[in-house]
Structure 1
């Protein structure tokens, strides 16, 4: 009886592990009224323009009225959200490359003053959960402070720390850990 219970527990744990990995593989892009999974973004219905993922009221609020303006915005938004900044082990000091990326984000935010951003702080798996949450917060705060010092209104920026909870690389080696020591940026309207 004990072996059966152990096998059931192991099977349930494996199922949860598989579900958690599959849930982490899809990125969602924020739009007003919800999110559009990335696989829907790449395969649009016939006749659907690249800018129809955002409703007309949001486009008007953003001040983007023409199709070319909207396409440029979507391209810039994709780059903005897909360009993370990275940190050294156990550090929240901005590297030179991170500053260059943040300078590009400042340009985007100046060009689109109605956009709001959440800065997510992330860590690798080493360290306690509590320590990594605090370090993730310091990493997000470093990016936030840089943006504010560059003239971005702090009311447009929010921060959250995920610590080690949302890795982009699941390996247990330096290459994976380096990818997880990051700040990620999510746009809101």
Structure 2
């Protein structure tokens, strides 16, 4: 009888939590990529161009602001190096720009474990950028663990998107 009560309580909690999850929007915004500011409709003479040194300019001129990691990993692989090299190149052009590197994890694991893993991911990206000539004093890190997922599914494709470090330009 006690096992039945426990099972009913757990099932009720699972249904309650599942009902509270955010729904994925039907249409997603376009992914990061190069933007030609001169072709934006109604912009005239580069009125749509991002101001150099801004967050928008950063996103327009780098490969990506996001580095992805494997399960329980925080090492910088070849794809991450390509992304971080483009970020380092942009950051050396704007030496007064400060950034924050956010570390994230997927939903698996405890809150504490994922916060520590997110911290290791953010610091791995920070250390790589510093090794490429970006002053470490310009870079802060923060870990959100599993608290800010970008993909809301409970499958490998969603988890892979959530295992990341994101570079944010502070204006």
Task: Decide: shared fold, TM above 0.5.
Answer: yes
The within-5 A match list for 1:62-141 is 74-80=56-62, 82-141=64-123
Deviations 1:89-121 (A, max 9, x none): 001111111011111111000111121110000
Query: Unpaired segments of 5 or more residues in structure 1?
Result: 1-9, 27-41, 63-69
Query: Unpaired segments of 5 or more residues in structure 2?
Result: 1-14, 30-39
Query: Which of 157, 160, 164 is equivalent to 1:178?
Result: 160
The within-5 A match list for 1:9-28 is 14=19, 17-18=21-22
Partner in structure 2 of residue 5 of structure 1: none
Which consecutive segments of 4 or more residues in structure 1 shift more than 2 A?
42-51, 73-83
Separation in structure 2 between the aligned mates of residue 78 and residue 139 of structure 1, nearest angstrom: 24
Comparing both structures, which one devotes a greater share of its residues to helix? Answer: 1
Change (3 A) 1:160 1:45: same
Q: Are 2:124 and 1:142 aligned? A: yes
How many matched pairs?
145
Deviations 1:65-108 (A, max 9, x none): xxxxx8xx844434549531111100111111101111111100
How far has the Cα of 1:151 moved from its partner?
1.2
Separation in structure 2 between the aligned mates of residue 44 and residue 161 of structure 1, nearest angstrom: 40
The root-mean-square deviation of aligned C-alpha atoms, in Å, is: 3.4
